[in-house]
Amino acid sequence: MSIRISSKQRIESPGLEYRSFTRSSQQWIFSWVSRGLTIIDKYYSKTDESIMWKTAMILHPRYKLNYFRNQNWLPEWIKTAKQSARDTWKLYYKPTITETVSTTIDSDDPFADVDNFGRNFEQDPFEVYIQAPQFDCGNPISHWTAKLDQCSPKSKTKKVTPEGALTRMALDFLLAPAASTDVERVFSHGGLVVSKHHHNLSAESTRANVVLNSWSKLGIVPRSRLIKVFNDKSRRNDREGADVGAVLVDGED
């Protein structure tokens, strides 16, 4: 849409004084608008450099690729977004699969592929998911969390099924923070854990302490159980110390 302003046109706005627009001022306005559009285009084009939001939309069961079609994306743009998500799946998540489960799919059930995606040995769970129709799952986080692989109490290692690998990918993208603010805040809090008295903490211990602190503030850590764990550990250390003392005394005798 273009707006033409005569060389001596006056525009009146409530609460503002009259302003006279000359041909020279028109050129300034058009110059500012042009520069503004250039900056907008510069940063909008950077969205193509990130796979995060496009993959997150694809892994949302209610949107998938239809979101891009409804936004009138060109077919090649949609193809690029789909291929980017597929490459991420094949490179980072599909190789983590350690267990495959063969299931029998009921041919009379039109939603069998949706219910069993990732469980068929011969089918790639990502391709099955993409080809299945989108549906309203309510909360996508709850939907995918329910499909996570469960840890077996008898096994020390966690088995990863095809469905579990795709679920992990979906949660990684859908749970990614929209901005770095929260991440930077957590990083700052984590720095408080690594003081001069704790500089030898491993990355795993530091992460566990930060997570435990966060969960405690949210009230999701049972305080009584936590106290019991620390008390039991303290008693165990006392017993071990007593055993060491007895050994030293015997050695001196």
* DSSP letter string, 227-248: HHHHHHHHHHHHHHHHHHHHHH
Which of 84 and 120 is assigned the larger pLDDT?
84
Alpha carbons 88 and 66: distance in angstroms, whole number: 20
CA distance 110 to 132: 10
From first CA to last CA, the distance across the chain in angstroms is 99
Q: Residue 126 — pLDDT band, cuts 50, 70, 90?
A: very high
Per-residue model confidence (pLDDT) at position 223: 81
Is residue 15 pLDDT above 80, yes or no? no
**What's the CA gap between 199 and 186, in Å, rounded?**
18
Beta bridge partners of 20: 10
pLDDT band at 11; cut points 50, 70, 90: very low
Burial profile 232-252: b = 16 or more Cβ within 10 angstroms, e = fewer? eeeeeeeeeeeeeeeeeeeee
pLDDT greater at residue 195 or residue 204:
204
- Average of per-residue pLDDT values in the chain: 77
Q: If you search the block for the tokens 């979101």, which residue do you land on?
A: 67
Q: How many CB atoms lie within 10 A of CB 194?
A: 15
Q: Which two tokens stand for residue 139?
A: 């909360």
65, pLDDT greater than 80: yes
More reliable by pLDDT, 253 or 174: 174
Query: What type of residue is 65?
Result: L
Q: Which residue has the higher pLDDT, 166 or 205?
A: 166
- pLDDT of 123 strictly over 80: yes
Q: Give the distance, in angstroms, between the CA of residue 234 and the centroid of all CA atoms in the same chain.
A: 38
Q: What is the pTM of this model?
A: 0.60
**Per residue in 145-165, pLDDT tens?**
999 998 776 766 778 999 999
